[in-house]
Chain A
Amino acid sequence: MPISLIQPEFKVKIDYDKCHKCGRCVQQCGWGVYSFNERPIPDDSKCRACHRCVTYCPAHCINITKNDLAYRTNDHWDPALRKAVWRQAETGGVMLTGMGNDKPYQNIFDHLVLDACQVTNPSIDPLREPMELRTYLGRKPDNVDVEPDGQGGYRLKGGDSISKNIKLNTPIIFSPMSYGSVSLNVHKSLAMAAERLGILMNTGEGGLHADLYPYQDNVIVQVASGRFGVNPEYLNRGAAIEIKVGQGAKPGIGGHLPGEKINKEVSETRMIPQGSDAISPAPHHDIYSIEDLRQLIYSLKEASGYKTVGVKIAAVHNVAAIASGIVRAGADYVYLDGFRGGTGAAPQIIRDNVGIPIEIAIAVVDQRLRDEGIRNQASIIAAGSIRSSADLAKAIALGADAVGIGSTALMAMGCHLCQGCHTGSCSWGLTTQKPELTRRVDPEWGAERLTNLVNAWSHELQEILGALGVNAVESLRGSRERLRAIGLDQQTCEILGVKPAGM
């Protein structure tokens, strides 16, 4: 085999003076970096800097550093671009990658700051006063119709129109990640955490494993272009149904789960033969336009006794008009996935160059729905790299009803963003089906860490609300007056509906 022109990304350094020669690193590394010959010998070229070996080395004698190999300076030709050329010249293939867009596009969340109360209105202390985060997802009527109940009070006229709404204790849900792309233990962790938190997890397009049936009231079941695992029972088990049209990391692109990941359990859940590739077409072949989407929405509602049905789309240029069409087609929520959103596998060229930021998408969709007087007809869930409770609060202030966290949830369970999800060899046992790796995630441990993360963010959101002087999250939702921009150009400010700091 001819030599590769690509030099390793990282250097694995072992302090052999401290090394126990125990071989733990050899066992822990999913990428096959280490061989053992009296002592562990690393192959730098295979390292992804996932830190699994560093974390588990009992002697703390492993360090990973960047390969500081110098390249001739050329601002036009980043070394990553040169390596891509060499790699494609070697393989002739489409470069695959995992996780979200890592390019240095301007991050809008980092240019927005929140308000706080001083003197003319009081801030509220969340440790002493109620601070409400409860959120109802789904279609709401324009107004509430009541009639006298004959006893001096009132009752709802024409039934409870929000009875199909889904209650979230905090405006956060777990983003769709399919069983197949992640392990069953990851799904179990997400489902258990969702139940404890009073929020939702999302199956992604890989069906619902029987082990998750006890958590079905906290699960969104997804219907994607491959229709994997979709049957009437599946639709009726979920708390809500989601039609996946697109994904922020790969708008317009389908999915491909290689046959080697389709073990017996995955095969049964997805309803496809063991070992066969699971290919999700790029479009739904029964949705070639908006009227087709309407038919699918109502088919799913008919099949499920009129459960909440949402539609997930990638944030693309025309997202406002698309979202408006989706709401008019009958969707109860629109799930917007920004271009920083993660993926189990995507062509790198798509991931890094297609789509728009979630901040922009929230702003234009929320505004469009308001302009058309239909904002109450659907909730907006925003995802695509919500990294902290600050991003959460800013997303809500821009107009989102709730946010989805996927990559962040995986990070709670150990993910180090090494971008190797597509390899199926995740050392942290997350995006893999290899039994020796998947057993690294104990669902009880995963659920506890996820619960901790969401609770921590919820507390921080309460602190932010308190500083803003409001005691319910609906008073921040869409309240862009509480945001100011620093260092954004005027047109971006106008699109966001946010004034620059100082105004």
Chain B
Amino acid sequence: MEFNPLLERMPTSKLPTFSDREGVFGFDRPSYSEEALSKIHGGCGLMGICDESGTLMSGVEAIKAMAVQRDRGNGLGGGFAGYGIYPEFPEHFCFHMMYHDLKAKEDAEAIFDQYFVVDLAEPMPTRPTKGITDAPLLWRYFLNPDPHKLEISEMSPEDFIVHTVMLINSSVDGAFVASSGKNMGAFKGVGFPEEIGHYFRLDEYEGHTWVGHNRFPTNTPGWWGGAHPFTLLDWSIVHNGEISSYGINSRYLEAFGYKCSLGTDTEVAAYLFDLLLRRHKLPLELACKALASPLWSEIDRMPAEEQAVMRSLRAVYGPGMLNGPFAIVLGFNGGMLALNDRIKLRPLVAARQGTRVMVASEESAMREVLDAPDRVWAPKAGEPVIARVKGMEWPIHGDLHLSASEISCAVTGVDSSCEIVEVS
């Protein structure tokens, strides 16, 4: 490995150029991201469940919730993310990797070996499953940044991780980071979600929070990395909908340095959460009000102080408002958030049973998983459902200092994202 991007401090993004890549790898293999550059239209089903007491639930619950919503997908993408699933390695970052071939694995592992202390590297446990074909090589790594390299890099561990994700996704052809958080992991691929869950042996995992997704794309990307959830560090996002305001949302984000390379609504939603929560430090509740704004007629009836807040949110974040049908579940280490669009054009149902909070596209999922829910309700348009695991730290403002373009690059693996000149 000739390039040491992590050793040389990268003030913004000085990723190897294409010719550098050729020099290092010397041949052309498909980069996953290059297969997924067109905007994907489609509908979906989703679920999220969180036990606020922190009690662990089997992954079977998540599979069951998605299996009854099978008709919401077409077998071209399913996935899950579980939190609290690696109690043996709670303080390790866990990389779930997808490799196109062995060479990709070697290249990515060279990066791990050089910059990390890897305490366990193993093939992802899977079992043969009818309907699952063309799986990439799936590996997972429990690792932490090499303390010496981390010190030289002058980054926080989170920054260091995101930088690595960016480096692998954009520079190592044929390698894709499916998830990179602590005590969590994403399991996703091409297939129906119950098949994906079976394939990844989710019945052998237990987590306090699970999110799941079933996809109905109207084209056939056949790309495992393109399935939901999208993740970065602890965050995962699953999404059902098509944002009719995609054009202005993406241009708005570009003004803050994000590059919407994948052309998916989910990507836009993920960056908006990053912008509002991490960079602008808005409380979660207000971030939801910015993304799914109340109507002016509602704002006009609010008490003066609240009205001033809402008016400012709409006037300032209007270009970021997600307009059009969506239901979205944001998972994180410590809970989940579910949000509907401002006039509820996509289904989202919620239920509570004791300390368990559950959301899904269809009530049938709740009835399947919860034997006697205390309450089942349809969250109002734009009213978030928030579940927080008791005693867990709020992670949203984690120790992350990266620029928007670096975040974009990490998520999409499109290195042109990194060429953006940062604006103030």
Contact = CB atoms under 8 A, between A and B. Distances in A.
Interface of A: 117, 120-122, 124, 129-130, 132, 134, 136, 140-144, 146, 149, 153-156, 160-163, 165, 370-373, 375-376, 468-472, 474-482
13 contacts: A144-B286, A144-B313, A146-B286, A155-B309, A156-B305, A162-B312, A371-B255, A373-B256, A471-B343, A475-B244, A477-B248, A478-B247, A479-B248
B282 A146 contact: yes
B251 interface: yes
B255 A161 contact: no
Given A146-B282, A470-B323, A477-B319, 19 more contacts: A120-B41, A122-B325, A124-B343, A130-B295, A132-B295, A144-B282, A149-B305, A154-B285, A156-B309, A370-B255, A371-B255, A371-B423, A373-B256, A471-B343, A472-B293, A472-B318, A472-B323, A479-B248, A481-B250
A475 B424 CA distance: 24
Contacts of A482: 247
B133 interface: no
Contact of A132 (B245, B296, B317, B325): B296
A322 B68 CA distance: 59
| Tier of interface size on chain B | 35 or more
A132 B312 CA distance: 16
A471 B342 contact: yes
A482 B324 CA distance: 13
Contacts of A372: 423
Interface string B292-307: 0101110000000110
Interface string B242-265: 101111101110111000000000
Contacts of A373: 255-256, 423-424
Nearest to A153: B306
Contacts of B423: 371-373
B289 to A, nearest CB: 10
Interface of A is mostly: loop
B280 interface: yes
B316 A130 contact: no
A146 B285 CA distance: 12
A482 B242 CA distance: 14
A474 B312 contact: no
A120 B240 CA distance: 11
B121 interface: no
Given A120-B43, A144-B280, A476 B248 contact: yes
Contact of B324 (A144, A156, A469): A469
A338 B218 CA distance: 41
A144 B316 contact: yes
B314 to A, nearest CB: 8
The winner among B218, B256, B293, B309 for most chain A CB atoms within 10 A is B309
B244 A469 contact: yes
Contacts of A376: 255, 316
B316 A143 contact: yes
Contacts of B247: 478-482
B245 A146 contact: no
A478 B251 contact: yes
A371 B424 CA distance: 11
Contacts of B313: 144
The winner among A140, A156, A475, A478 for most chain B CB atoms within 10 A is A475
Given A471-B342, A475-B323, A481 B316 contact: no
A432 to B, nearest CB: 41
Given A130-B343, A373-B424, A475-B321, A470 B309 contact: no
Given A120-B42, A130-B343, A472-B293, A144 B244 contact: no
Contacts of B323: 469-472, 475
Nearest to B305: A155
B311 interface: yes
Contacts of A375: 255
Contacts of A142: 316
B259 to A, nearest CB: 13
B245 A470 contact: yes
A15 B397 CA distance: 83
B345 interface: yes
Contacts of A156: 305, 308-309, 312
Contact of A121 (B242, B314, B424): B242
B326 to A, nearest CB: 9
A144 B319 contact: no
B255 A144 contact: no
Contacts of B30: none
Contacts of B318: 472, 474-475, 477
The winner among B250, B285, B324, B325 for most chain A CB atoms within 10 A is B324
B315 A136 contact: yes
Contact of A478 (B218, B241, B248, B311): B248
Contacts of B293: 472
B43 to A, nearest CB: 7
A36 to B, nearest CB: 58
A475 B283 CA distance: 23
B319 A162 contact: no
A219 B173 CA distance: 60
A468 B255 CA distance: 24
Interface in B227-241: 241
Instruction: Please give me the 10 A-B residue pairs with the lowest Cβ-Cβ distance, nearest first.
Output: A481-B247, A474-B318, A479-B247, A373-B423, A475-B323, A475-B245, A469-B244, A479-B248, A143-B280, A121-B242
A472 B321 contact: yes
Contacts of B309: 144, 146, 153-156
A131 B43 CA distance: 24
Contact of A474 (B241, B286, B319, B325): B319
Contacts of A122: 325, 345
A373 B275 CA distance: 14
A310 to B, nearest CB: 17
The winner among A143, A149, A482 for most chain B CB atoms within 10 A is A143
B306 A474 contact: no
A478 B342 contact: no
Contact of A160 (B42, B282, B312, B424): B312
Contact of B283 (A146, A471, A481): A146
Given A129-B343, A470-B324, A471-B323, A134 B251 contact: no
A389 to B, nearest CB: 19
B242 A162 contact: no
Given A124-B343, A144-B312, A472-B318, A134 B296 contact: yes
Nearest to B42: A120
The winner among B218, B250, B305 for most chain A CB atoms within 10 A is B305
Contacts of A162: 311-312, 315-316
The winner among A134, A162, A470, A474 for most chain B CB atoms within 10 A is A474
A400 to B, nearest CB: 12
Nearest to A132: B296
B417 to A, nearest CB: 16
Nearest to A480: B247
B310 to A, nearest CB: 10
